[in-house]
Structure 1
Amino acid sequence: MAIRKQQEQFIHLVRLAWDLRMAGLSATVDLPRGGEPAVLIPGAEGPLKVMVSTQGADWFFTWGRGRDQRVRALDADAFRRVREVAR
C-alpha cells in the first residue's frame, strides 16, 4: 500500500477513535506490524474491530463483510453508527 494511502487510513482511524472517545467510549488505534490497522472498541464479548478501506474513491469503516456492516468514513455521523454496533 502506498505511503499516502496508509497515512489517510491512519487519519480516518484516529478521527473515529477520537469521536468515539468524545461520545463516551474507549477506543484504541491498533497498528499491528504486518497487519491491517484498526480501531478496537472493548466489549463484553471481545473487542469490536473497525477497519477502514477504500471502495472506488470512497473510504468506508467496516466491521464485517455485510453491506450493513459499513459506513462511509466521511459521514458526519459515522461514529454514531459504529457506537450503536459497539453497544
Structure 2
Amino acid sequence: MSQEEATPADQAQPAPLTQRPVLGTVQEDRYIHLVRLAWDLRGLGLATQFELPLTEEPYLTAQGGRRPVRVTARKLGQDWIYQWGRGRNQWIDALDHRAAQTIRKAAAR
C-alpha cells in the first residue's frame, strides 16, 4: 500500500501497550500485563527478562541501573498494579500511562 493509499487509521499510532484492555483468566491477564510492560520498557531503552517460575508468580526483571528491578503484576480489587517492592511508592496502576516511565526510574537507581 502506498503512502497515498493509507487511511488515517493506518497512519495512527497505537495506544501504549499498557493502556489496552485485558480480558482472560487471572493468570492470562497477569502474563499479558507483564509482557505489555516489557515492550513498553524496551521502547524506553531498558532490557527486560520475563520469568515463569514453577513455584511463584511470574515476574519481569528490568535491567537499568546498579541492580535489576523485579516487577510483578497483581490484582488489587478490580484493578491491576505493577509492584516492584513493598514500600508505599513501589507500585503503580498497570493501566497508568506513566507505568513504564515510573519503573524505568526505579530501575535507574
TM-score relative to the length of structure 1: 0.90
State the alpha-carbon separation in 2 of the partners of residues 52 and 60 from structure 1.
Answer: 6
Q: Which has the higher helix share?
A: 1
Looking at structure 2, the residues matched to 58 and 66 of structure 1 have their Cα atoms a distance apart, in angstroms, of 19
Structure 1 residue 36: Cα displacement? 1.0
Whole-angstrom distance in 2 between the partners of 1:66 and 1:41: 18
Choose from 12, 21, 24 the match for 2:45.
24
2 CA distance for matches of 1:67 and 1:74?
Answer: 18
Structure 2 counterpart of 1:51: 72
Following the alignment from structure 1 to structure 2, what is the Cα–Cα distance between the partners of residues 54 and 27? Answer: 22
Secondary structure of the residue that 1:68 maps to in structure 2?
coil
Distance 1:86 1:41 in 2: 7
Aligned AA (1:5): V
Identity of aligned residues (%): 43
Q: Distance in 2 between matches of 1:44 and 1:79?
A: 18
Q: CA deviation at 1:31?
A: 0.7
- Residue segments in structure 2 that go unaligned for 5+ positions in a row: 1-23
Rounded Cα–Cα distance in structure 1 between residues aligned with 2:26 and 2:57? 13
Greater Cα radius of gyration, structure 1 or 2:
2
Q: How does 1:55-74 map to 2 (within 5 A)?
A: 55-74=76-95
- Shift of residue 76, structure 1, vs aligned partner: 1.2
User: Could you tell me how far 1:34 is from its partner in structure 2?
Assistant: 1.7
Q: Cα RMSD between the aligned structures?
A: 1.3
TM-score w.r.t. the length of structure 2 is 0.73
Distance of 2:36 and 2:48 partners within structure 1: 11
Letter in 2 for 1:29: F
Where does structure 1 lack aligned partners over 5 or more consecutive residues? Answer: none
